[in-house]
Structure 1
Amino acid sequence: MNPWALGGVVLVAAATFVLAMWGARGARTTSDFLLARRMVGVERNAAAIAGEYLSAASFLGVAGMLLKDGVEALWYPIGYTVGYLALLLFVAAPLRRSGAYTLPDFAQVRLDSTRVRAVSTVLVVLIGWLYLVPQLQAAGVTLSTVTGITYSSGILAVAIVVLLGVLSGGMRAVTLVQAFQYGVKLFAISVPVFVLFFVFLGQDEQHRRGLDEPVPPAFERATTVRVETDVRLRVTEPVWVDVLSGPGPEELDGVAGSEGDGSGDSVYLTEGVHSVRSDSELRFPQGSAVPTVADAEPDNRSWLLPQSGDSYELFETYSLMLSTFLGTMGLPHVLMRFYTNPTGRGARRTSLVVLGMLGVFYLFPTVLGVLSRFYVPQLLVTGNTDAAVLLLPTEMLQGWPGELLGAITAAGAFAAFLSASSGLVMSVSNVLFTDLLPGKLGNFRLIALGSCILPVALALISIGRDISQSVGLAFAMAASTFFPLLVLGIWWRKLTAAGAMAGLIVGGGLVLLAVLTGAFLGDGYGWWSAVLLQPAAFTVPAAFAVTVLISKLTERNVPPATGRVMLRMHTPDRLGFLRDRSVDQGEVAERSSVGGRGGRGRHRLVRRRRRS
């Protein structure tokens, strides 16, 4: 256990708790809890959006995917960032002017349909949980790696801190915490990059050999690797390995072993694919080639060049681009933050600032991913490449400097779990509160607690795939459901409730079918695996086509208030058409939820401001 890392995690948790309590001081009304009174400034809202958006998939997953898959993994940070450009151009300002509280509320405002609202509610919860489960899983793995606590304890620790922030002050508290955590993550990823890069430049030429050679990475010193799960290793250069514990050498693809140097049974792994069982401990000699998990790039040249493998990888790339470019527009926990801006112009400016913040951040995990190819190649044996950011500092720097940098990265990873999880719990709770149990803030707290229990249970009983890939499924779901609803709802007058309903069901259903089928079949099926792993290339066009077709067939059922709603969404703010829907009902609810003379005074003040 690294005591520095434990101290960093505790420090971030304590700062988060203090900020949440401080931000909750003025949270009294329903509007405070749900939307922070819609009075969040551009810079703070942008920092909060970047804070919750830069999840474990960004802080840990990007470097891990780059270590394993090479330059093809760069499409993840590019897509995560460019999605905000599309959001800026097509969605941010009109969505804010619609006056909605949530995505289901927007569906009802635009289409005047409680059925579409109900389906949207189910999808918001589903996307939120698809995104939240890998965050909690990554928290368990990370905290167990850097602090020595158990996997389940790490998950429960993050869940408790998140719930404390959400239950204490809702959106007001969460906004302040997420803005702070963006700064923590930027500091925690940038400082190690600068230090480790200068260390890398100071190494001799052997340590800085080019990555464009057609050879596998090599162990710079004798390395012991513990395999936690069953893996299939691809060996491109034969290597001797000592089996220190776990299955005997005869269980490594039937390869007979011989006595080695007394440290265990020595096995000669020939070129090809070999199976290694879980709980195995293997020791590789200095200078030996690194076997890689079967789905990783085996040599440096293929790692450095895009599309060096099979033809279906091109489909995966285009599908990934589609899901990340368009999925951002449909992520409920991201769109929810734009409802807190006072105007549509403010929402558009917030998107622009977020673009800059994300662009700066994503420079750093890319550098760490490249350095990991040199200094932590053992992660290619276990497949646990998401741990690269956490282990790299202590591998490159010995003693307390490495442990200090490791503590900084651990604190940043913990902040990533907290900020993303807070936004997801908040978005799911908002939707369930406004649709199921509106009125009392006690109901909101009860729903927030319930919306966190199931994801925690799912994270406790399973360890998922790579973080970025798991989060990618949530992007694919968002791109296949809410992206068509938002774009057509904002820019196409002829959208009908029947068309929107059909598009949501077809898009969401196809993604779920791909996820379940992929979990049953697994990897190794060529085109089938590619389509199931990255389904957006066919689910997004299918959802769009079905939505337009059914709307054309039911064009007589265009809501009569469509013209008024479209005028409100596309009229500049200065003309005064902006009107927040359901504020009146929310203010009525505040009387019973706040109670007391102080609450009534605040309520009358809110009404007076609106009349003025």
Structure 2
Amino acid sequence: MNPAVGVMALVVVSLATAGIGFYGLRISRTTGDFYVASRTVRPWWNASAIGGEYLSAASFLGVAGLILLSGTDALWFPVGYTAGHLMLLLFVAAPLRRSGAYTIPDFTEARLDSRAVRRVTSVMVVVLGWLYIVPQLHGAALTIRITTGLPSWVGSAAVVVVVCLTVVAGGMRSITFVQAFQFWLKLTAIAVPVLFIVFTLAGDGSPAVAPAVVNPTGLAPAGPYQNISLLVALLFGTLGLPHVLVRFYTNPDGHSARRTTLIVLGLLSVFYLFPTAYGLVGRMFAPELARSGQADAVVLLLPGQLIGGTAGDLLSALVVAGAFAAFLSTTSGLVVSLAGVISQDVLGGGVRGFRLAAVVSALVPLGFAVMTDSMALAGSVGLVFAFTASTVCPVLLLGIWWRGLTDAGAIAGMVTGAVLCGGAMVWGTVLGAAGTPFWLAQPAAWTVPAAFAVTVLVSWGTKNRIPRTMARVMTRLHTPERPLVTER
């Protein structure tokens, strides 16, 4: 790929993102605008924005890379990513919107009437947010290095600069417009090139690949434990992602929150068809990418390798634009959610505190990303989902559906999940991919049940700490509102 074409694609996406973000500044005036877009975002807009921030580097680049490496074993990733939103639809979306909270710590404090729970929840949200941002910056570094030849840090720094500008400019109101635009850009950028490749190969009459190439890496298939553990991480992890959950606070009511989630399911189902197709085409026609350690770059490199010429450059530029949009949209969503937590808990709230917190939220993971090497993108994000499923998810689910939850149980469960899953992640990093036992590489199958069990057992042992406000809060969570006519 011509490096100039890649640079142009990155510049165009960055300018478009900044332009839309500054447009949002014109209508972002109040604290409510910055935190939750004044709760006026309609379902289609919100669904597009959720798709924009949820489809991260792992979705745009990592899923195709894993399918190239592992074949059908990797299909659990798109299945789990999508099915997680079905869990959101069934168990979380409407009650969370009815809570009236701005952030997840707001919800846990209101539900359990405890400042201590709020502080612990805030720490968990910030940690998992930073863990999730780092793979986005690694993806940007990979894209810059592969397509332009520039140093890797340039990609990470460019994402942070653009995200800080757009978030600081208009907060949630601004980011909603940006992420909705970026979802449709990502869908176009990943769909058009692979369809062009498939139709070109079909019209060219290219022969089927030799059987020896079907497994280009020789990796052993994943066992039942790995698949079950991955699915647990993705299904339950989606329920605790702060940048996704905060989006439901922007809906006008619980009815529109449910409708938003239903639309998201459809959008994700369509999107994941295309990285799957990239991985399968890569296994057949570009298996050398797997052997050379460039599996995560298969989406970026396939158009140039299989099409070539000017058409290949243009298609590659479109893919690069979509990939950069993925890094920007997910990072901006995470920064908004983290800024809301940090500004309220540390900086006293307000627009000025939000803006300062947004800059801090972006700069800290940038430092970690520059100092660390990229793992397989989808695999590293899968571990973040496992951490979320082991910490925030149990408190959120039990807080919505179980009257017996106490502040002591919530804190004990979150700390248990963080220690077990965080310890597995650190131990796995120290041992390296080759030396990590399978139960550490995919810890969710035991860390999530352990977190739920500790939460329930400690709550049973501290029944005297059930808050007096429990009945009132639970009634609010589960009493349907009458949907507004203007939001139908």
Q: Note if contact 1:522-1:529 (Cα within 8 Å) is conserved in structure 2.
A: no
Q: 1:572 to 1:385 in 2, by over 3 A?
A: same
Residue in 2 aligned with 1:26?
Answer: 27
Q: How far 1:309 moved relative to its partner?
A: 4.0
1:550 aligns with 2:458: yes
Q: Note if contact 2:70-2:221 (Cα within 8 Å) is conserved in structure 1.
A: no
Residue in 2 aligned with 1:390?
Answer: 300
* Partner secondary structure for residue 15 of structure 1: helix
Task: Give the distance between the partners of 1:440 and 1:122, measured in 2 at CA.
Answer: 20
Give the strand-richer structure, 1 or 2: 1
1:530 aligns with 2:443: no
Q: How far 1:464 moved relative to its partner?
A: 2.3
Residue in 2 aligned with 1:191?
Answer: 192
**Matched residue type, 1:474:** V
Residue in 1 aligned with 2:473?
Answer: 565
Residue in 2 aligned with 1:133?
Answer: 134
Write out per-residue CA displacement over residues 181-237 of structure 1, whole angstroms, 9 at most, x where no aligned residue: 00100000110121000112123453x236xx3x246xxxxxxxxxxxxxxxxxxxx
Q: Note if contact 2:125-2:392 (Cα within 8 Å) is conserved in structure 1.
A: no
RMSD: 1.5
Task: Give the distance between the partners of 2:201 and 2:189, measured in 1 at CA.
Answer: 19
TM-score, structure 2 length as denominator?
A: 0.96
Task: Give the distance between the partners of 1:476 and 1:320, measured in 2 at CA.
Answer: 8
Write out per-residue CA displacement over residues 103-140 of structure 1, whole angstroms, 9 at most, x where no aligned residue: 11111010011111111000001110110001001101
Q: How far 1:297 moved relative to its partner?
A: 3.3
Task: Give the distance between the partners of 2:266 and 2:213, measured in 1 at CA.
Answer: 36
Residue in 2 aligned with 1:112?
Answer: 113
Q: 1:309 to 1:41 in 2, by over 3 A?
A: closer
Task: Give the distance between the partners of 1:5 and 1:16, measured in 2 at CA.
Answer: 17
Task: Give the distance between the partners of 1:541 and 1:19, measured in 2 at CA.
Answer: 43
Q: Note if contact 1:131-1:474 (Cα within 8 Å) is conserved in structure 2.
A: yes
| Unaligned segments of structure 2, at least 5 residues | none
Q: Note if contact 1:2-1:403 (Cα within 8 Å) is conserved in structure 2.
A: no
Q: How far 1:377 moved relative to its partner?
A: 2.0
Task: Give the distance between the partners of 1:21 and 1:575, measured in 2 at CA.
Answer: 32
Q: Note if contact 1:53-1:420 (Cα within 8 Å) is conserved in structure 2.
A: yes
Task: Give the distance between the partners of 1:129 and 1:376, measured in 2 at CA.
Answer: 34
Residue in 2 aligned with 1:336?
Answer: 246
Q: How far 1:28 moved relative to its partner?
A: 1.3
* Partner secondary structure for residue 437 of structure 2: helix
Residue in 1 aligned with 2:312?
Answer: 402
Correspondence list, 1:141-540, <5 A: 141-206=142-207, 208-209=208-209, 213=211, 215-216=212-213, 296-297=217-218, 309=221, 313-525=223-435, 529-540=437-448
Task: Give the distance between the partners of 1:127 and 1:3, measured in 2 at CA.
Answer: 36
Q: Note if contact 1:97-1:569 (Cα within 8 Å) is conserved in structure 2.
A: yes
Q: Note if contact 2:213-2:284 (Cα within 8 Å) is conserved in structure 1.
A: no
Task: Give the distance between the partners of 2:317 and 2:161, measured in 1 at CA.
Answer: 21
* Partner secondary structure for residue 573 of structure 1: coil
Task: Give the distance between the partners of 1:31 and 1:359, measured in 2 at CA.
Answer: 32
Task: Give the distance between the partners of 1:42 and 1:132, measured in 2 at CA.
Answer: 26
Write out per-residue CA displacement over residues 43-99 of structure 1, whole angstroms, 9 at most, x where no aligned residue: 100000000000110010010000011110000000000000000000100011011
Q: How far 1:148 moved relative to its partner?
A: 2.2
Task: Give the distance between the partners of 1:341 and 1:521, measured in 2 at CA.
Answer: 44
Q: How far 1:375 moved relative to its partner?
A: 2.9
**Matched residue type, 1:162:** V
Q: How far 1:155 moved relative to its partner?
A: 1.0
**Matched residue type, 1:558:** I
* Partner secondary structure for residue 467 of structure 2: coil
* Partner secondary structure for residue 256 of structure 2: helix
| Unaligned segments of structure 1, at least 5 residues | 218-289, 299-307, 577-612
Q: How far 1:439 moved relative to its partner?
A: 3.9
Q: 1:445 to 1:575 in 2, by over 3 A?
A: closer
Residue in 1 aligned with 2:52?
Answer: 51
Q: Note if contact 2:36-2:249 (Cα within 8 Å) is conserved in structure 1.
A: yes
Task: Give the distance between the partners of 1:446 and 1:557, measured in 2 at CA.
Answer: 36
Q: Note if contact 2:403-2:470 (Cα within 8 Å) is conserved in structure 1.
A: yes
Residue in 2 aligned with 1:13?
Answer: 14
Task: Give the distance between the partners of 2:221 and 2:13, measured in 1 at CA.
Answer: 42
Q: How far 1:452 moved relative to its partner?
A: 1.1
Aligned residues: 483
Task: Give the distance between the partners of 1:323 and 1:537, measured in 2 at CA.
Answer: 8
Q: How far 1:463 moved relative to its partner?
A: 1.3
Task: Give the distance between the partners of 2:128 and 2:96, measured in 1 at CA.
Answer: 19
| Structure exhibiting the larger radius of gyration computed from Cα positions | 1
Task: Give the distance between the partners of 2:46 and 2:342, measured in 1 at CA.
Answer: 23
* Partner secondary structure for residue 482 of structure 2: helix
Give the % identical residues: 50
**Matched residue type, 1:560:** R
Q: How far 1:473 moved relative to its partner?
A: 1.2
* Partner secondary structure for residue 204 of structure 2: coil
Q: How far 1:374 moved relative to its partner?
A: 2.8
Q: Note if contact 2:343-2:350 (Cα within 8 Å) is conserved in structure 1.
A: no
Q: Note if contact 1:5-1:404 (Cα within 8 Å) is conserved in structure 2.
A: no
Q: Note if contact 1:32-1:171 (Cα within 8 Å) is conserved in structure 2.
A: yes
**Matched residue type, 1:449:** V
Q: Where does structure 1 differ by over 4 angstroms across 4 or more consecutive aligned residues?
A: none
Residue in 2 aligned with 1:597?
Answer: none
Q: 1:379 to 1:575 in 2, by over 3 A?
A: closer
Residue in 1 aligned with 2:98?
Answer: 97
Task: Give the distance between the partners of 1:426 and 1:155, measured in 2 at CA.
Answer: 18
* Partner secondary structure for residue 93 of structure 1: helix
Q: Note if contact 2:390-2:447 (Cα within 8 Å) is conserved in structure 1.
A: yes
**Matched residue type, 1:453:** L
Write out per-residue CA displacement over residues 331-356 of structure 1, whole angstroms, 9 at most, x where no aligned residue: 01100100000101111111000000
Task: Give the distance between the partners of 1:340 and 1:12, measured in 2 at CA.
Answer: 25
Q: How far 1:366 moved relative to its partner?
A: 0.6
Q: 1:192 to 1:72 in 2, by over 3 A?
A: same
* Partner secondary structure for residue 353 of structure 2: helix
**Matched residue type, 2:275:** P
